Amino acid sequence: MIRIVTDSTSDFTVEEAKKYNIDMVPLSVVFGEETYLDRVELDCATFYDMLKTKEYPTTSQPAPSQFYDVYKKYDETDEIIVIGISGELSGTIKSARIASLDFKNKFEVYDSKLAAIATRILVMKAIRLRDEGKSFDEIVKAIHDLQPKIDLYAGFDTLEYLVKGGRISKVVGTTGSLLKIKPLISLEEGKVVQVGKARGTKAMISSVVDKSLESGIDNNEDVILGYTKDQENALKLKEALEEKGINVTEVVEIGAVIGVHAGPGACAVAFVKK
């Protein structure tokens, strides 16, 4: 049997993981001395409530033992595909790889060099191919072939959490907030990069649409939108993309680990390039 494992940053809910018959290993969100397993012990609504009242949180990767506990449930003949968040952003995939060394199963521990809804596209491809009866090797080849074609663009509604996380300086953050500057984010070589900025929410959404269309969206593949806390901006993004003839597959809530850095009000699109 082929087993698919991912981590909580790929934006599957616990219920979805059960529905799709995959295992999801959670990262953690740390508020002071309190640690919560992402999506397991901490849902998104509770996270944003805590974000208002508690000190700025940090995040931590799963320990190898968390992956070990998943792998040990499987038969020795099971073939295991692990798809995780970029190794440039987290040590999660390293933990998955360390744990695999204790097992005789056939493994593919794959660093997606992606995050959030972009990783979700890759996992969904693996799920569909598994359900179609494709072999381990066929699925592994397909995700390797697909990964370079996946793109993501996001607009952050606030600079506050980039400042708190040390991603930008306080001076830049204060000036940007006064001018209603919204940073535009993408992924390059597994790293988060700023690819532009817009003044105001409307311009932010337009810029995300423009950059996505410039990349070239394959309408025959998944087009997934994500949001942090509030759907409003994501629904505006959906409308704008559909006006351009893009078929949006689904809109999902981005989890707390990514939300620590993005803050509420962010919206994103992930897609496969033509």
Kind and range of the H or E element at 211? helix 201-215
Q: What three-state secondary structure class fits 248?
A: coil
Q: Are 67 and 102 in contact (CB under 8 A)?
A: no
Could you tell me the strand order of the sheet in which 106-111 lies?
23-25, 2-7, 79-84, 106-111
Distance between CA atoms of residues 234 and 248, nearest Å: 11
Whether residues 198 and 239 share a domain: the answer is yes
Whether residues 86 and 162 share a domain: the answer is no
Instruction: Output the domain CATH number for residue 28.
Output: 3.40.50.10170
Amino acid at 262: A
Tell me which of 91, 125, 147 is where a domain ends. Answer: 147
Strands 79-84 and 23-25: unpaired
- pLDDT one-digit tens code per residue, 107-161: 999 999 999 999 999 999 999 999 999 999 999 999 999 999 999 999 998 777 7
**What is the DSSP-derived secondary structure letter of residue 8?**
G
Q: What three-state secondary structure class fits 14?
A: helix
pLDDT > 90: percent of the chain: 83
Whether residues 84 and 155 share a domain: the answer is no
Whether residues 231 and 122 share a domain: the answer is no
Whether residues 212 and 263 share a domain: the answer is yes
Residue 175 has pLDDT above 60, yes or no: no
Distance between CA atoms of residues 109 and 117, nearest Å: 19
Nearest to 30 by CA among 15, 1, 50: 50
Question: Sorting pLDDT into bands at 50, 70 and 90, what band is 180?
Answer: confident
Kind and range of the H or E element at 66? helix 64-71
Whether residues 9 and 134 share a domain: the answer is yes
From residue 257, how far is each of 7, 10, 62, 88, 242 by CA, in Å? Answer: 11, 10, 12, 15, 29
Domain, as residue range, for 245: 150-272
Distance between CA atoms of residues 27 and 55, nearest Å: 19
Tell me which of 98, 123, 147 is where a domain ends. Answer: 147
Nearest to 45 by CA among 224, 226, 225, 230: 230
pLDDT of residue 20: 98
Here the tokens at position 134 are 């494709």
Residue 162 has pLDDT above 80, yes or no: no
- pLDDT one-digit tens code per residue, 144-157: 999 999 999 999 98
Residue 178 has pLDDT above 50, yes or no: no
Whether residues 155 and 80 share a domain: the answer is no
Instruction: Output the domain CATH number for residue 243.
Output: 3.30.1180.10
Reported pTM = 0.93
Whether residues 107 and 232 share a domain: the answer is no
- pLDDT one-digit tens code per residue, 17-54: 999 999 999 999 999 999 999 999 999 999 999 988 88
Task: Round the average pLDDT of the chain to a whole number and report it.
Answer: 92
Whether residues 175 and 97 share a domain: the answer is no
Q: Are 112 and 119 in contact (CB under 8 A)?
A: yes
Tell me which of 112, 147, 182 is where a domain ends. Answer: 147
Whether residues 140 and 163 share a domain: the answer is no
Q: How many domains does the chain have?
A: 2
Whether residues 94 and 134 share a domain: the answer is yes
Whether residues 180 and 142 share a domain: the answer is no
Strands 150-155 and 181-188: antiparallel
